Structure 1
Amino acid sequence: MKGRVLIIAGSDSGGGAGIQADLKTVTCLGGYGMTAITALTAQNTQGVSAIHDVPADFIKEQIRVVLSDLGADCIKTGMLSQPATIHAICDVLDELDMDIPMVVDPVIVAKGGASLLAQEAMAALKTRLIPRATMLTPNVPEAEALTGISVMTADDMAKAAEKLFELGPKAVLMKGGHLDETGEQVTDYLFEAGGGSHHFSGKRIQSRHTHGTGCTTASAIACGIAQGLTVVESVQRAKDYVFEAIRTAPGYGSGHGPLNHGHTVKA
């Protein structure tokens, strides 16, 4: 076991996304996962029926006690929901004054369409959390919401990334799964501050069992960074891991089903 990852995100009662997917991912990639839960959701593969936000002071305490004792090699954030949650995270990290790499997954809308970020939280996300990011991992709708730019092509992705760099992240992974959804290839683009860029292409799997792919990808990247991989190496391993998790998905549920996070585990 190598690499401590503190996951700050919401719980998915259906187990396909959120904290549950994050912990499975980190564990199955050989890391050690810890959590600060920001919200409880009642959801299954068909959608989110209710959200219960965790009080900001309790979120701060979860983060404080974990970092002051166990420490972390990388932090991953997911569903944050409320502005008070985002401010609480940033306040306690300022208080602890620890220089820890952070992967920020800007969770805005669930796979089934439910809003997971209050509109008033967007400003806090952009001004307080994203500037801390070692890597920001938006999909196309998230990039559009954060930048106001319509993303239809690879060139649009580059333009959106440039806009996102104005917020302060060191790297931006623009996930291309929403582009040309009938195409045979999926390409993600990694842009690094200072001009470096890489693209990662792979075969598209036509499947409704893709719930939690964003959470899983970000947690896999965070685990890689925690284990000492480069940003590029972390993204490539995450891509390979998620591809196989989709390919071997168990087929549970009647809606957007979960992935097979445990495909790395051999009996």
Structure 2
Amino acid sequence: MSIGKITEFKVQSENWNLYVERLEQYFLVNKIESDLQVPTLITVMGAESYELLVSLCTPDKPHTKSFKELTTIMANHLQPKPSELAERYKFRHRKQGEAESISEYVAVLKKMSKTCDFGAGLQESLRDQLVCGIKSETIRQRLFAESKLDFTKAYNLAVSLEAAEKDAAMVVGSAKASSEASLVDCQAVYGGRARRPAAAARGQRGWRAASRGAGTAAADRSRAQQGCRACGGAHDEAGCRFKAYVCRVCMTRGHVRRVCPNITTHNTVEVTQCNNQVEQDSDASDEFQIL
């Protein structure tokens, strides 16, 4: 009984090199001899991929070739070797993404390095791109400070520093949330106590309104004590004959010139009896009476 199972190869979606690696391990664990590897490949690869293999081997038949020859023919067709310079260019310009961890970033770099053919300089290239491509400037400066930094040391140190940054950010976030909660509580307490000052302010506004009302009444009394508004005499305006006169200044009926508001705001004149002063009043001589 065989160990494991090899499924059909999906031409449109699967990686042929990975499929071959799994198949080689299947040969190894099930102790399949080299003379049976080609028949096993043809049996498990599926109808679609076998049809493609037949077309690529034409005019020869697939079973006339070795396992190595068949896998190479399929690889050259499905995954032709890209330009080494182009692949290295893409490798050098690969930066760590915003939502990508350092371990995920390194995994992508290692995958990209397979087509770059770095050879003996693979570890050095991975180290350089790790240091230059990480997004954290703090971690990069820390790596710059290390002497004799190889890829393994750089990777382990970068992962440790990244974890420390996340822990520190979590602590700061918790402290900020706690501070905001305390501020809300303080505002709630202050809001409860702020009612008394508001009531006091309303009482004070009422007192000010009452004061203004009292001041207005006092002013009215003061104006009443100043005398007649028609002539300025110390008598009641209702019986003053100068109410029928028209002022020469403002041409308004109801007062004479000496008490005209357009000349002065305060003009108190000692007047005796209106009937005795009409002829002697120099101001009245300039007015005219409307009958």
What range is the shorter-chain TM-score in? under 0.3
Which has the larger share of helix? 2
Bigger radius of gyration: 2
TM-score by length of 2: 0.19
